[in-house]
């Protein structure tokens, strides 16, 4: 029996919601969702097609955890992008460090302001 139908959302813990929103909205171009209900903690939701990314402004139980330099060997959210070269240019302008996929495919990894790993894949993948 098939139980899983699709991925609904991924959540990341953030320490400064304003800084994180600037990263996700201004740099990555995500649009804030109005579907987030009133919750006992601050946060933001973004809709990407039928899926969402949730920013949770809650205490980070992993603060100080040492993460690998390359996000591909860390837990991460993978997102398809229309133009990976344009994204590289935007990351370069913003001073955000990234690494390319070790597999040779058109993908790159970076970290958000709270060290959460993100993968960006060319739309042809």
- The CATH number covering residue 71 comes to 3.10.180.10
Whether the pLDDT of residue 63 is over 90: the answer is no
User: Given this model, what pLDDT does residue 100 score?
Assistant: 92
Q: So what's the pLDDT on residue 125?
A: 58
Structural domain contains residue 45:
yes
Whether 124 shows a pLDDT value over 80: the answer reads no
> For residue 92, what pLDDT band results from cuts at 50, 70 and 90?
very high
| Residue 102 pLDDT | 86
In a domain, 4, yes or no: no
* Cβ–Cβ < 8 Å for 106, 121: yes
Point out the least confidently predicted range of 7-11, 22-26, 59-63, 107-111: 59-63
Residue 85 lies in a domain: yes
Question: In the prediction, which pLDDT does 113 show?
Answer: 96
The verdict on residue 2 lying in a domain is no
Residue 1 Cα distances to 4, 6, 7, 8, 30, angstroms: 9, 15, 17, 20, 35
Mean pLDDT of the region 61-84: 90
Count of structural domains, the chain = 1
pLDDT band at 6 (very low <50, low <70, confident <90, very high): confident
What φ, ψ does residue 59 adopt, rounded to 5°? -60, 135
Segments forming the whole domain that contains residue 75 = 9-122
**Is 95 inside any structural domain?**
yes
Question: What pTM does this model have?
Answer: 0.91
Tell me whether residue 91 is in a domain. yes
Residues 99-106, mean pLDDT to the nearest whole number: 90
SS3 state of residue 76: strand
Q: Is 40 inside any structural domain?
A: yes
Q: 86 in a domain, yes or no?
A: yes
């Amino acid at each position: 029996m098939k139980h899983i139908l699709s991925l609904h959302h991924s959540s990341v813990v953030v320490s400064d919601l304003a800084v994180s929103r600037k990263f996700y909205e201004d740099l990555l171009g995500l649009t804030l969702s109005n579907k987030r209900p009133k919750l006992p903690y601050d946060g933001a939701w973004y809709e990407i097609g039928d899926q969402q990314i949730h920013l949770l402004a809650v205490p980070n139980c992993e603060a100080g955890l040492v993460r690998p330099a390359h996000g591909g060997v860390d837990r991460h959210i993978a997102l398809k992008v229309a133009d990976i070269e344009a994204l590289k240019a935007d990351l370069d302008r913003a001073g955000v460090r990234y690494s390319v996929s070790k597999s040779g495919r058109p993908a790159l990894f970076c970290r958000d302001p709270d060290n959460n790993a993100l993968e960006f894949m060319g739309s042809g993948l």
